[in-house]
Every structure is written in structure tokens, then in C-alpha cells.
Structure 1
Amino acid sequence: MDTRVLKYFLAVAQTNNITKAAEQLHITQPTLSRQIMDLEAELDVKLFDRENRRLQLTKAGIIFQQRATTIVQLLHQTENELHQHEEELTGEINLGSAVSSVSSYITKLIAEFQKLYPNVTFNLSDGDGDVLRRQLDEGLDDLVCLLEPVEAAKYNFLELPVREKWGLIMLKDAPIAKYPTVTKKDLYKLPLILPHRSIVRDEVSDILKLDQTRLNIRATTSLPGNTIALLRNSNYYVLTIKGVYDNFHDPDLAFVPFTPNKSTGDVLAWRKNTVLSPAIKRFLQFVNEEIQES
């Protein structure tokens, strides 16, 4: 299958219109229509429903769009890696990170690295641990910043000098906002928003010796922005890391840590058994040197 045809398909899927897609691709409408029909014939599936001169993806078309997007992105990354040279470092690094204390740390390192190697660009993304691992496993990210623990059998990683303190985010006028710390007895009395990932909930519960069946869980979430929006419209309390609170710089919010103290480390991870580009290898070396100096 010609990757050019994949790009044709993605253009049509984005515009839902053969004529508009043909204009974007600088080819004729009949040529594009024929390429799409040939693609459907090759796959032996119907990718588009054609009604009222407007195209809509079928269920098969939606699945194929996801796979085609991944293939085209990986092809682009591969082309960039093949054109990298050790003598004059160039290329792209796809790096994902959670919204946390590590965000500030890793972006400072990126800025310092680009002073040395201005021809290396970074494509940055964010998400929770599940999203970041999936992007790493699928090759969409080269490196990701993750909270510990990580699967040592799957990933190589560098331990970063960043610790994430766990506690509750709340409105600043909440009854316990002036408490120095929050205990598990306090948690049992509060309406909570918890992390979506069960592994995180279990780890915090283990440290605090929590009985999760006694918690008043009102919602789970993986997106800090949604979490804060929900908090603003309720009297809920968000179980999360202080780095999320720090990233919002919101004077209407407060953070109270747990007792006993609970903190988690951050790592910079990459897949095992994969060939790293010169840019990625040099960046990892740079990060490791910074870690050793700190």
C-alpha cells in the first residue's frame, strides 16, 4: 500500500469532502475519488458512507483513520531520524509528560539542551500515565516522564531529581484548607475526586493504610484541567500531587499534604530494544549529566 494513498485518505477523512481534499492535495477530484475507491477495493471494506454529497467515516473507516495516522507519523519520524547526523545534531524528539512538578524540570532541560543543539526540535504532549505509556508503546513518543513505579521489564529509565508530594487540592475557604496535614480519618469524611488510574489509588491507599470502601468517591479523572473545573463548581476535594496544584497558580485553591508523608519519584522512560536516534541518545546523555551534577 502506497503511503501517499494513506495521506490522501486522511485528507478526505479530515474534510469529509472530496473536492476540498483534492484542493488541499493539489490533485484533481476524479483522481482522488479513484484513489479512495481503489483503497476500499484493496482493503475490501467500505471506508466512507456517501450521502448527500458529504462523506462520513464508517466504523471501519474510523479504525483505519487511527492506524493510518500512526503509520504516517511513524514514517515522518523515521525520515527525520535517517537525516540526522552526529556532526551537526538535528532531528525531532517526541516527549510526553504528565502535568506535575516534572513539567517545569524537563522543560528547563529542553531549553538548555537547545542552546547547545538549536537544530533539534521537541514535540511535546501531556497525559496521564496510561496515555503516556500507550503513546510510548505505539512509538508516538520517544521519551515520557512517568511517576514511579515503572515496568522495568519494558522500559529503560533515568530517575529524575523530582519528588511529587501527595495530598488534597481544595478551595481556599474549605474547612480543612488551614490544616497543616490531612489524615486518613479526614479523608473518610470528605467527598473526593480520585485519580482515574487504579494503580495510583492503590499505592496511596497502601501508604496511608486506607480502606477504599470507606471513601466517598464522587468522581475519578485523568485530566487536571477537568479536575479543577469540577472542583470550582463543588465542595469536593482532589486527591493528587502538589505539582498539579503548582501548575495552576490559582489563588482560589489550597493544597494540604497527607500525613504520613507520601511522595513519589519521577523517571524519564523509553522503550527497551529500540534504536534511538542520535538526537535522543544525546539528550539522554545530557539529562543524565544534569542529574549527576545535581
Structure 2
Amino acid sequence: MNFRILNYFLTVAHEKNITKAAEILHITQPTLSRQLMQLETALGVKLFDRDKHKFALTPSGQFLVERAREILNMVEKTTLDIQEQEHNLAGSIAMGAGEYQATEVLAKLIGGFQKQYAAVSFELFTSSSDLLHDKLDKGLLDVAILQAPVDTTNYDYLRLPIRETWCVLMRSDAPLASKNAITASDLSGLPIILPARLQARSEIFNWLSGDITKMRFIGNSNLLANTAVFVEQCGYYGISVQMPLLDEKRFTYRPLTPALHSDILLVWRRDRQQSLALQKFLQFAKCFLSIEQAPI
């Protein structure tokens, strides 16, 4: 298996038509068909169910699509990193972030770095801490900001100078919006959406303590943007860290009491070869955060 054949495979999987895929790839149809059959032979599995010119993916083919995309993205990123080493500091840094207030610190950090190194670009991927952690492990991200608790066994990290405050997200006209802070008993019987991350739910369950049996849990959500839709449309309540940029006329955050906080870490793999751009960024981050660091 080589990268060229993986690209052929992804093109056919996307187009679902061997003739159209061959035109896009600028090769003959027989050549493309032969390459796909060789790939199936090498893997020992059937990747397509062929019906004349229509190619439908088998379960094995669907699995390979996801892996092939990851492999080719990694190849492209590695190529850019190698090319960057041969020129003035340039290249791309793949970065992950959740929906945190701490993202404002990240924006200041990146902005300050790019004033010195304008040719370095950033690819920002937004998701939950668990998925970001997985992408770091696979080498698809260089660095990420993750919400504690985080397993840092194989990682180095910097602590950001801000802590996330756990709150209840609600509609601005909700009955609890008149309160300054929300206790566990206030939530008794109300429809609640929890974060999807297991570690986060564990901290919330500890906070609820003896009131947990009185709770009405509707479901879990991994991104606050989706939670906000259900809050607005259904009148649900979401327990989450406070997300910036929500419309204050439509939504209200109220902090939990007793207060519940989470640290945010800037994390990277310690056993990975780092591009020069990433090395410079981490050096800049250490200096920047030491200046920005303030008592929590």
C-alpha cells in the first residue's frame, strides 16, 4: 500500500463512480480498477460492492476511508514540517481547543507569536477534551488546550492563567435566571443536559452529592453550541463551563454554589519529534504564560 493508491481509493469512495474518479485522477479506468483490485488483494478484504460503474463501500471500505484520511493528512502535515525546516521559520501548527473562556488566552498567545513569526500558520480544531487527547496521541495535533483532569503521563504541559467556572446555562427568561448562583437543590426535577466527558460528569456528580437522586438527566452533549440549541428550544438546563460569545439576551449563565472550577492545560506529546515552528511556539508560550500568569 502506498500514499498514491490511498488517494485513488479515497477518490473512488467519494465519487462512487470509477469512470468519474479516473477522469479526476487523470488516469485510465482500467489502470484505476487494477490499482483498486491490487489494494484489496494486499489487504485481503473487499473494499467495494461493485454494481456496473457504481462503487458502494463495504464495512471494511468505510473503515479504511477514515484511516486513509488520517494517514494522508499526517503525510501532508509532515511534508509541510520538513519543508519548513529548509526555509525561514514557517510551516503549520495543528492545534486543538475546547469551548472555553481560556480560548481568549490562546488567541492572545497565537497573536503575539505571529507578530514575530508571520509565516507560521495555525490549524485550529475544536472538540471535546477526550477527542483532542486522542488526536494528540495519533499525531494529528501538535498541541491542545485540555480541561483537567487530564492524564499527562506521556505529555508535557503548561497551566493557563485562568480557571473555568462551572455554571448552569439557561434561557434568560428561565425561573432560575433571577438567582445569583445555583445550588444542587435548585436543579431538583429540572431537565438537565450534562457534558459528554466522563471525568467532567464525575466532578458534577460529586458536586450534586446527596441531591443526585432528585435530578432529571435528559442526556449528554460534547459541544456547548448544541447544548444551547436544546436550552433555547426546549427550556432545558445545561451544566457546563461558561462559553464565550453566547447571546446574553437569549442565554444566561449562573455559577454553581459551592463553586466548582477546572484548570486548563496547554498540552503536547513529550516523545514526538517537534518541528522548528512548534519548538519556537512552545518556547514563546512558556515566556508568554509566565508573564500572564496570575494568582487563581
Say whether 1:293 aligns with 2:284.
Answer: no
How far residue 131 of structure 1 moved from its aligned partner, in angstroms, is: 1.0
CA drift at 1:76: 1.4
The match for 1:81 is 81
Residues 96-135 of structure 1 correspond to what in structure 2 (within 5 A)? 96-135=96-135
- Counting matched residue pairs gives 292
Measure the CA separation in 2 of the matches of 1:168 and 1:102: 18
SS in 2 for 1:36: helix
Measured after TM superposition, the shift of residue 148 of structure 1 is: 1.1
Q: Secondary structure at the match of 1:165?
A: strand
What's the secondary structure of 1:163's corresponding residue? strand
Secondary structure of the 2:175 match is coil
1:175 aligns with 2:162: no
In the alignment, structure 1 residue 45 sits paired with structure 2 residue 45: yes
Scaled by the length of structure 1, what TM-score is found? 0.94
Q: Which runs of 4+ in 1 moved over 4 A?
A: none
Which runs of no fewer than 5 residues in structure 1 stay unpaired? Answer: none
Hey, what's the Cα distance between the residues in 2 that align with 1:89 and 1:78?
Answer: 15
Q: Distance in 2 between matches of 1:141 and 1:85?
A: 18
The residue that corresponds to 1:253 in the other structure is 251
CA deviation after TM superposition for structure 1 residue 217, in Å: 0.2
Quote the sequence identity (%).
38
CA distance in 1, matches of 2:128, 2:104: 16
Superimposed CA distance per residue, residues 90-138 of structure 1 (whole angstroms, 9 cap, x where no aligned partner): 1111101001112222123212212211211111111111111111111
Tell which deviates more after alignment, 118-127 or 210-219.
210-219
Distance in 1 (alpha carbons) for counterparts of 2:231 and 2:135: 29
Q: Which amino acid aligns with 1:83?
A: Q
Q: Confirm or deny: 8 A CA contact 2:19 2:53 kept in the other structure.
A: no
Match of 2:68 in 1: 68
Q: Is the 8 A contact 1:147 1:266 kept in 2?
A: yes
Counterpart residue number, 1:198: 198
Compute the displacement of 1:188 (Å). 2.2
Q: Name 2:265's counterpart in structure 1.
A: 267
Give the whole-Å Cα distance in 1 for the aligned partners of 2:35 and 2:161.
52
Residues 12 and 18 in structure 2, CA contact (< 8 A), matched pair in contact too? yes
How far is 1:19 from its partner? 2.0
Query: Tell me, what secondary structure is at the counterpart of 1:167?
Result: strand
The 2-side partners of 1:175 and 1:274 are apart by 51
Whole-angstrom distance in 1 between the partners of 2:47 and 2:281: 41
Q: Following TM superposition, by how much is the alpha carbon of 1:253 offset from its aligned partner in structure 2, in angstroms?
A: 0.6
Distance 1:18 1:53 in 2: 6
* Alpha-carbon offset, residue 193 of structure 1: 0.6
Task: Note the alpha carbon deviations across 1:215-254, whole angstroms, 9 max, x for none.
Answer: 2101111122211111111121100011x2x232342111
1:148-168 per-position Cα deviation (integer Å, ceiling 9, x unaligned): 121121221110112111110
- Assess if the C-alpha contact under 8 Å between 2:18 and 2:53 holds in 1: no
Using the TM superposition, name which of 140-149 and 210-219 deviates more: 210-219
Name the counterpart of 2:275: 277
**1:95–1:144 Cα contact (<8 Å) kept:** yes
CA 1:81–1:94 in structure 2 vs 1: closer, same or farther (change >3 Å)? same
Shift in Å at residue 212 of structure 1?
3.0
- Provide the residue aligned with 2:152 in structure 1: 152
Is the CA contact (8 Å cut-off) linking 2:183 and 2:258 kept in structure 1?
Answer: yes
Q: 1:20 to 1:111 in 2, by over 3 A?
A: farther
Aligned twin of 1:28:
28
Q: Quick check: 37-46 or 208-217, which moved more?
A: 208-217
Q: Secondary structure at the match of 1:248?
A: coil
Cα deviation per residue 1:242-273 (whole Å; 9 max; x = unaligned)? Answer: 1x2x2323421111101111111111111231
Identify if the C-alpha distance between structure 1 residues 195 and 89 changes in structure 2 by more than 3 Å, giving closer, same or farther: same
Matches of 2:198 and 2:179 in 1, distance apart?
A: 27
* TM-aligned CA deviation for residue 77 of structure 1: 1.7
Letter in 2 for 1:56: A
Relative to 1, partners in 2 of residues 1:27 and 1:229: Cα closer, same or farther, differing over 3 Å?
same
State the alpha-carbon separation in 2 of the partners of residues 102 and 15 from structure 1: 41
Contact 1:184 1:210 in 2 (8 A): no
Alpha-carbon separation, structure 2, partners of 1:184 and 1:210: 9
Conserved 8 A contact 2:128-2:222:
yes
Q: Is the 8 A contact 1:208 1:260 kept in 2?
A: no
Tell me the amino acid that sits aligned with residue 265 of structure 1: D
Post-superposition offset of 1:176: 0.9
Contact 2:149 2:199 in 1 (8 A): no
